[in-house]
């Protein structure tokens, strides 16, 4: 369906749309008359989302499968609906420190959170470059600012995403394209249900989606929220390691 709206985007591809922030974003964009292509693995959840709005269409894929990403992009290209904006928010998360650290678990986190994004960026960039327009927004996390307890599997994947986006942004700009980085704090979703600790500044997926959409309407590279948590972690990153680890030791205890 073609959207008639006054939004910056006519067509958005949300990868990780079956729950949490991705689902809330899909719903809010659809309410604004933006055409949403909703991707994730859970076909039932996507079909249910698809049925909520004429502006949403399901396109199942598994980001750990390069062929699945390429098939999805080929299908969009074939149907003449390459997105104006692609938002990558697929992720997996298992909390823990040294107790959960194995090569297999780290690889699984990297495959979904980081390599999936690499696959999407690598496959989409040539199409967007040829067309001469388009943006990709990658959801990382405030966890990417510094190593935090209980994030031995997840934190490095998010730091890698931040580094990748910082590296590629100038080349995207050179090609007339956009590359944005989104760093949320704690959001109440299936992902954070696994956390047994108190999550400061916790917000709903709907609030997170509002902040992301508002941020994407601007032109800044990074969209980080909530402000107080982003500021606290930025300051933490600036501390000398002696002080930083004194605080971290308290958190671990």
Ligand X SMILES: NC(=O)c1ccc[n+]([C@@H]2O[C@H](COP(=O)([O-])OP(=O)(O)OC[C@H]3O[C@@H](n4cnc5c(N)ncnc54)[C@H](OP(=O)(O)O)[C@@H]3O)[C@@H](O)[C@H]2O)c1
Positions in the binding site for ligand X (CB under 6 A)? 16-22, 40-42, 45, 61-64, 89-92, 112, 139, 141, 184, 186-187, 189-192
Question: Largest Cα–Cα distance of the chain, in whole Å?
Answer: 57
Q: Encode burial over 132-169: b for 16+ CB neighbours within 10 A, e otherwise.
A: eebbbbbbbbbbbbbebbbbbbbbbbbbbbbebbeebb
Of the two residues 172 and 225, which places its CB atom closer to ligand X in the complex? Answer: 225
Shortest distance in whole angstroms from residue 73 CB to ligand X:
14
Q: How far is the CB of 174 from ligand X (least distance, A)?
A: 27
As measured in angstroms, the least distance from the Cβ of 90 to ligand X is 4
Cα 212 from Cα 137, distance rounded (Å): 10
Closer Cβ to ligand X, 243 or 251, answer by number: 251
- 7 vs 192, which CB is nearer to ligand X? 192
**Cα-only R_g, the chain:** 18
The residue written with tokens 């941020």 in the block is: 215
The residue number with the shortest CB distance to ligand X is 20
Q: Nearest approach, Cβ of 217 to ligand X (angstroms)?
A: 19
Q: Whose Cβ is closer to ligand X: residue 105's or residue 129's? A: 105
Closest to ligand X by CB, 7 vs 19, is 19
Instruction: Round to whole Å and give the CA distance between 31 and 23.
Output: 12
Q: Taking the complex as a whole, how short is the minimal distance between the CB of residue 124 and ligand X, in angstroms?
A: 15
**At its nearest, how many Å lie between ligand X and the CB of residue 6?**
27
Closer Cβ to ligand X, 34 or 138, answer by number: 138
Question: Residue 185, by phi and psi: left (phi above 0), alpha (psi -120 to 50) or beta?
Answer: beta
């Amino acid at each position: 369906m073609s959207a008639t709206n006054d939004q910056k985007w006519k067509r958005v591809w949300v990868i990780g749309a079956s729950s949490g922030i991705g689902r809330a974003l899909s719903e809010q964009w659809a309410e604004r008359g933006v055409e949403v292509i909703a991707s994730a693995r859970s076909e039932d959840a996507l079909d249910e989302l698809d049925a909520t709005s004429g502006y949403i269409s399901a396109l199942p894929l598994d980001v750990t499968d390069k062929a699945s990403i390429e098939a999805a992009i080929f299908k969009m290209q074939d149907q003449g609906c390459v997105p104006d904006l692609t938002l990558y928010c697929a992720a997996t998360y298992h909390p823990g420190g040294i107790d959960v650290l194995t090569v297999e678990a780290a690889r699984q986190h990297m495959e979904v959170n980081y390599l999936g994004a690499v696959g999407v960026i690598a496959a989409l960039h040539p199409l967007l470059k040829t067309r001469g327009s388009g943006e990709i927004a990658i959801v990382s996390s405030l966890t990417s600012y510094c190593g935090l307890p209980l994030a031995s599997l997840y934190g490095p994947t998010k730091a890698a995403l931040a580094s990748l986006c910082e590296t590629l942004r100038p080349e995207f700009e050179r090609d007339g394209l956009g590359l944005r980085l989104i760093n949320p704090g704690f959001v109440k979703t299936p992902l954070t249900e696994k956390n047994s600790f108190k999550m400061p500044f916790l917000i709903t997926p709907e609030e997170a989606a509002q902040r992301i959409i508002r941020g994407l309407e601007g032109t800044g590279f990074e969209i980080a929220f909530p402000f107080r948590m982003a500021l606290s972690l930025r300051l933490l990153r600036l501390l000398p390691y002696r002080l930083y680890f004194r605080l971290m030791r308290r958190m671990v205890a």
